[in-house]
Amino acid sequence: MNNLIRDMLYSYEPISLTDLMDYKLLSRIDTKYICNIQQLPAIISSISNDFKIQTSGSERIFGYESLYFDTPQMKSYFDHHQGKRIRYKIRFRKYLDTGDVFLEVKRKKNFNRTDKKRKEFEFATTLESNHLQFIDEYIDLPEKGLNPSIWTYFDRITLAGKNHLERVTIDTNIQFKNNDKSITLPGLIVIETKREKERETSPFSKVLHDAHIKPYGFSKYIMGNIVLNPRIKHNRFITKISTVKQICYGTKYDNRFF
């Protein structure tokens, strides 16, 4: 399946990382979807006339590594669990193909709009004073500090609209890791559309709608914490857990990682 997808991506018009900066959209409307990788070839073939694909040389799929930070009380996790509209996540993100590293503060302003600030640093597993100074510009630093929480790894396809300002990311091979174990979610695809205005029409969203793939909130950080530590409180996410199990294993009753 991965080879088929790679071959299909060569039919897309390329766009360089430099040109993709015009689609940065750090303050944006995000809409997420999840589905099985078996559905991806049909999606890719349906939108090739409307989107370009990020390329570097001959590469069209790129690896990402992220390390998230949270308070000892897991504030970021539990703010999400409690349904707070205004919340944040803090992470180092490394682009494995280039080696570029950014410290990112991702703030959810309401249910749809996300604001992301980032600054280039060397990758670190501990937040030092220069890191905290950057973070403090955008959120109130928690009194008890921020500790490394979980790692995420995934491969990403990035598309940019040819005639409209929209960026689409498609994440595959999603893996979570902490100090004790590593877990991969087989077959899970996370799709995210990013645009400036909520009412803008999206060719990509139409294709997903026609494939009966509906918008579905999903956080790698939240799901990663649950699969790595099933004892953490997660009753608010029971339906999402069942959906992910159905996509990965064909049944919501599978207990492989719960």
Q: Which pLDDT does position 78 carry in this prediction?
A: 96
Measure the CA angle with vertex 153, ends 224 and 101; round to 5°.
120
Block means of pLDDT (10 residues each) for the chain, 258 residues, are 87 90 66 96 94 93 98 96 90 96 89 82 97 96 95 97 89 96 96 76 88 94 96 94 94 73
Collapse the DSSP code of 119 into the 3-class scheme (helix H, G, I; strand E, B; otherwise coil) and give the result: strand
Q: Which pLDDT does position 52 carry in this prediction?
A: 96
Write out pLDDT tens, residues 131-190: 999 999 999 999 999 999 999 999 999 999 998 888 899 999 999 999 999 999 999 999
Collapse the DSSP code of 180 into the 3-class scheme (helix H, G, I; strand E, B; otherwise coil) and give the result: coil
Domain residue extents for the chain: 2-249
Q: Which pLDDT does position 1 carry in this prediction?
A: 65
Q: Which pLDDT does position 41 carry in this prediction?
A: 96
Q: How far apart are the first and last CA of the chain?
A: 26
Q: Which of 33, 29, 50, 26 is nearest to 195 (CA)?
A: 29
What lies within 8 Å, CB to CB, of 7 at 6+ separation is none
Q: Which pLDDT does position 28 carry in this prediction?
A: 64
Write out pLDDT tens, residues 181-206: 999 999 999 999 887 766 566 789 99
Q: Which pLDDT does position 23 carry in this prediction?
A: 65
Q: Which pLDDT does position 37 carry in this prediction?
A: 96
Contacts 24+ apart (CB under 8 A), 106-113: 107/138, 107/139, 109/85, 110/85, 110/86, 111/85, 112/29, 112/30, 112/31, 112/198, 113/27, 113/28, 113/29, 113/30
Report strand pairing: 13-15 vs 51-54.
parallel
Selected from 3.40.640.10, 2.40.320.10, 3.30.360.10, 1.20.1250.20, the CATH number assigned to the domain covering 2-249 reads 2.40.320.10
